[in-house]
């Protein structure tokens, strides 16, 4: 399973979600997307995006200090940040890129 990383630290809303959406648009099914973000809105908006776009938010963790393992260089610039693991669904619905209607009706989680 392929994993790609979106480092959106230092970007403010709605850029982290836009970077995630770009990565998800171009990624094959079952890709794992790791998103790093420092914007306070990302805590709410990345889960909301996953719900609207039928992607699974596998985990959301707060990363503090130098405890991260395998994190990219530059983490010292951001003492704390959020790390999201998003799974691109196995079957990409055709609506994924175009159908706001299906995204809206997918409210129950």
Which residue ranges make up the site for another protein (CB under 8 A)? 12-15, 17-18, 21-22, 25, 39-41, 43-45, 47-49, 51-52, 97-98, 100, 103-104, 107
Q: CB of 7: closest distance to another protein in angstroms?
A: 18
Active site residue 50: no
Q: CB of 15: closest distance to another protein in angstroms?
A: 7
Of the pair 15, 85, the CB lying nearest another protein is at 15
**From 5, 10, 13, 51, active-site residue:** 13
Q: CB of 41: closest distance to another protein in angstroms?
A: 5
Of the pair 4, 21, the CB lying nearest another protein is at 21
Of the pair 72, 79, the CB lying nearest another protein is at 79
In the numeric block, which tokens belong to residue 31?
Answer: 């890709």
Q: Would you say the C-alpha torsion 39, 45, 47, 50 has a positive or negative sign?
A: negative
Residue found under tokens 């790791």: 34
In the numeric block, which tokens belong to residue 67?
Answer: 């405890």
**End-to-end alpha-carbon separation of the chain, Å?**
24
DSSP H stretches of helix in the chain? 15-26, 42-52, 100-104
Contact (CB, 8 A) for 16 and 35? yes
Q: Annotated active-site positions, please?
A: 13
């Amino acid at each position: 399973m392929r994993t790609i990383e979106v480092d959106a630290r230092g970007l403010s809303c709605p850029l982290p979600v836009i970077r995630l959406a770009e990565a998800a648009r171009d990624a094959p099914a079952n890709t794992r997307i790791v998103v790093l973000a420092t914007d306070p809105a990302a805590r709410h908006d990345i889960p909301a995006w996953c719900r609207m776009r039928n992607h699974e938010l596998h985990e959301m963790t707060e990363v503090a200090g130098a405890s991260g393992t395998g994190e990219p260089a530059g983490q010292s610039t951001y003492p704390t940040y959020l790390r999201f693991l998003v799974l691109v669904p196995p079957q990409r619905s055709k609506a994924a890129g175009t159908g706001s209607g299906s995204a809206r009706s997918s409210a129950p989680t």
